[in-house]
Chain A
Amino acid sequence: MKTIQTKKIIDTVAEMCIEANTFLSEDMLESLRTAESSEESENGKEILKTMLDNFEVAKRRTIPICQDTGMVVMFVSFGQDLMIADGSLEDALQAGVAKGYEEGYLRKSVVADPFIRTNTNNNTPAVIHYKVVPGDQLKIKILPKGFGSENTSALKMLKPSDGMAGVRDFVIKTVEAGSPNACAPIVVGVGVGGTMEKAALMAKEALGRPLWMRNPLDHVAALEDYLLEACNNLGIGPMGLGGVNTVLGVNVEVFPTHIAGLPVAVNISCYVNRHVEREL
């Protein structure tokens, strides 16, 4: 039976937190470069150029791309044949976040209680979603989530009769209301179906899907294309100051749902859409 030491998990998670906040993935960079060359608004072009320059500075000096280094969301797939030695998996994952945020000089943005609001000073707890899978792998995906964009996300329980048109309308309205505050151009994760929390979870997971990858279902891929075009026709543009690049990508995930329901969740990420994945 394969065994992983908690120390290895702590060190890996710490490294991943620093990496995610300092370097952006190639799919995100590529789409921002494309946006910069296609932008029609002078302000928008200038802003996109600044964003691209900023990535270079962050990389060169190994400092965070953005000061809001987020609350950490983790997706963990745990192989059922795997053993963890020397402590609990949950404790190790949380300790890894604390270590990464301390050693990487990342901002601690988590408060212990939503009403009392005292900073926990180590950016924990992270929000961790586990999945038990066959095999003996430990796969960890980390998304440090900034709240400028998280705050513009929304969820609605539509009626089945609202159908595809209702979903389109809700996504576009959410993007329209949120983009100027969410550091556009944004990435839009959409979850349709399941239950309330399943829709929200799919929307979050959708943000981590590479921008070039379409949903394998034709009608869902068509919805993604439609939403991308419709959102970019809103004119909101980079940082909301006008332009043709409001949205870099729309990723939609779907799941079976109840005969009486059509849940839809929209999770918005800014252009600093950070995600890092590793397998142990």
Chain B
Amino acid sequence: MTVINIKTPMSKEDRKKLKAGDHVQISGTIYTGRDAAHKRMIEALKKGSPLPVDFTDQLIYYVGPSPAKPGEIIGSAGPTTSGRMDAYTPELLEKGLGGMIGKGNRSEKVINSMMNHVAVYFGCVGGAGALLQSCIKSVEILAYEDLGTEAIRKIEVENFPAIVVIDTQGNNLYETERKKYLK
């Protein structure tokens, strides 16, 4: 199996090259955020306030890590279910967000918005929090510290393994792969 190495931030051109089913390893800066942080960001946008991060060409990782043990920078850090962020994602894509990392399918609305804004959705292995933690090299809390595990963090990752699940054309592995094994 070939693995494509990608670096963040990812330009539209880079994103367009990825196809559903590609196995990738992501290196560079990514941002964490899940339910509560998304809710707050969208409320900020409604009030006309700026987002805490410029998401242009960046990736958001849907994760709420477990606490770091002494001497470590973060605890277990696997993906959470992306569908809960569906209500908020199109607005972030409009602000330039280049892609998302999580688990589970996305709504039609999100997929359409991804196609309009040339965004990619990556899936990684749910539950594999201990393994994925070892790809995280630094962690900094950027915003909403009071949300604890749900705060927005800036993390540096190295060779973070993921699969392109929905590409910029809207090809969706959840649709295509299942058919091959349906009996």
Contacts and interface: CB of A to CB of B under 8 A. Distances in A.
Interface of A: 40-43, 46-47, 50-51, 53-55, 57-58, 61, 63-69, 105-109, 117, 119, 121, 146, 148, 151, 180-181, 183, 233-237, 239-244, 270-272
A265 B123 CA distance: 29
Given A148-B126, A180-B104, A43 B65 contact: no
Interface residues of B, number: 46
A183 B178 contact: no
A32 B104 CA distance: 20
A24 to B, nearest CB: 10
Contact of A63 (B75, B126, B174): B75
Given A105-B75, A108-B149, A234-B178, A270 B1 contact: no
Which of B83, B133, B178, B179 has the largest count of A CB atoms less than 10 A from its CB? B178
A235 B126 contact: no
Which of A40, A183, A234 has the largest count of B CB atoms less than 10 A from its CB? A183
25 contacts: A50-B161, A51-B128, A54-B128, A54-B130, A63-B75, A63-B130, A64-B76, A65-B76, A66-B130, A67-B66, A69-B66, A109-B149, A119-B148, A148-B81, A180-B105, A183-B103, A233-B183, A234-B178, A235-B178, A235-B180, A239-B126, A242-B177, A244-B181, A270-B126, A271-B127
Given A180-B105, A270-B127, A40 B181 contact: yes
A194 B177 CA distance: 39
B180 A242 contact: yes
Interface of B: 1, 21, 23, 36, 63-69, 75-78, 80-81, 83, 103-105, 123, 125-131, 133-134, 148-149, 161, 163, 165, 173-174, 176-183
Given A67-B65, A240-B178, A241-B177, A58 B76 contact: yes
B83 A181 contact: yes
B130 A41 contact: no
A183 B126 contact: yes
Nearest to B180: A242
Contacts of A50: 125, 128, 131, 161
6 closest cross-chain pairs (CB), A and B: A242-B177, A235-B182, A235-B181, A183-B126, A181-B104, A58-B130
Contact of A53 (B36, B67, B131): B131
B34 to A, nearest CB: 11
Contacts of B127: 51, 54, 65-66, 146, 183, 270-272
A222 B134 CA distance: 43
A180 B75 contact: no
